[in-house]
Amino acid sequence: MESKEDADSFTKVKSRKTQKRKLEPDGADMDTEEPVKRPQFKPLSGDKLRGPDEMRKIPVPAHRYTPLKDNWLKIFTPIVENLHLQVRFNLKTRNVEIKTCKETQDIGSLTKAADFVKAFILGFQVEDALALIRLDELFLESFDVTDVKPLKGDHLSRAIGRIAGKGGKTKFTIENVTKTRIVLADTKVHILGSFQNIKMARTAICNLILGSPPSKVYGNIRVVASRTAERF
């Protein structure tokens, strides 16, 4: 309601804490006026609307420590320059911390940045993870191989091998056909892409886990993909 009264074009969303409606000093007169009247608040300047800085922390496992170090430049550049956020790697807690600052325009960028870093930490390439910042409708899905079918020991290994294929062939095929990115981390599978594509890829991977041969899976995903491509 206060934003409506705002004379500025500033559309910043203020923090929840300050959103309690403040009673006007002449609030006692309200009853005497029409009951449906909107309370009138004085327009505030942008500074006052800003709440305290928000922060996100993303923990980094040990095996991703080195890749993070190597790609640090590529990671923080878009965050700082494009999203206008502050980012640092807390060595003590081994967390990547992202914080808003005065320059931050959109509070949603904080979430985007957090997702970007998280995707990288999971194992995706920086360029692929960067798509999360650029595109709104990309999502990240993770599941376990054991979730699909309770496998143990060699079966599990074979299932993972089926997903990957020789030299990663199968995985690449699925990625290419469904326009997604897949990360196979032991028993965990992470998929990055748009909603429909994630579904397609997930179906294909599940079929592989359940035991169908790759050629069959190729055929299926090809059909589905061509159908979706035709639709657009």
Partner 1 sequence: ILNLAADFTSLTKMLYDLHKTQEPADYQGSPLAQLVVEDFDEEQIWQELELQNNAVLKHFQNAIDEAVSDETLTVLEDEEEEDEEENGQEEEEEEGATDDENDAEEQEEEPPIPGQSKKKAVEAEDGADAYSEEDSDLDFDVDALEKREKQKKEIGRKGSKTKVVPSEVDDTFFKLSEMESFLDDMDKREGKEDEDEDDVDYFQDLPSDEDEDADLVTILSTKKQQKHTVKSSRNLKYKDFFDAVDGEPAKTDDQSDGEDDSMDGSQEEDEEEMDDEEDEYDGEEEGDDDDEERSQSKASQKKVTFNLSEDEDSEGEEMEDIFGGKAPSSAKSESKSSFEKRQEKMAKQIEELEKAALGEKPWQLSGEATAQTRPENSMLEEDVEFEQASRRAPAITEETTLQLEDIIKQRIKDQAFDDVVRKEKPKEEVFEYKKRLTLDHEKSKQNLAEIYEQEYLKQTQQKTEEEENPGHVEIQKLMDTLFLKLDALSNFHFTPKPPVPEVKVVSNLPSITMEEVAPVGTSDATLLAPEEIKAKNKAGDVLGTTEKTSTDKKRERRHKKKVKHLKIKEKERRQKLKEASQSGEKKKLSKAEVTENLKKLTKGGKATILKDEGKDKALRSSQAFFSQLQDQVKSQIKSTKDPSSKKKKSKELSVSKLKL
Distance in Å from the first CA to the final CA of the chain = 41
For partner 1, the closer CB: 113 or 130:
130
Helices 195-210 and 169-178 meet at what angle, rounded to 10?
150
Binding residues for partner 1, total number by CB under 8 A: 29
| Rounded CA separation 48/192 (Å) | 39
For residue 206 the two structure tokens come to 């599940």
| Rounded CA separation 27/160 (Å) | 67
For partner 1, the closer CB: 55 or 223:
223
3-state SS, residue 46: helix
Q: Which of 50, 94, 118, 179 binds partner 1 (CB under 8 A)?
A: 179
232 touches partner 1 (CB under 8 A): yes
Q: Which of 169, 185, 195, 211 binds partner 1 (CB under 8 A)?
A: 169
Strand partners, 139: 193
**Residue ranges in 115-144 that form contacts with partner 1 under rule CB under 8 A:** 125, 127-128, 130-131, 134-135, 138
109 touches partner 1 (CB under 8 A): no
168 touches partner 1 (CB under 8 A): yes
**Residue ranges in 55-84 that form contacts with partner 1 under rule CB under 8 A:** none
Strands 188-194 and 181-185: antiparallel
Instruction: Report the candidate in 31, 32, 45, 38 with the shortest Cα–Cα distance to residue 1.
Output: 38
Q: What is the closest distance, in whole angstroms, from the C-beta atom of residue 92 to partner 1 in the complex? A: 33
**Which parts of this chain interact with partner 1 (CB under 8 A)?**
125, 127-128, 130-131, 134-135, 138, 165, 168-170, 172-173, 175-177, 179-181, 192-194, 218, 222, 225-226, 229, 232
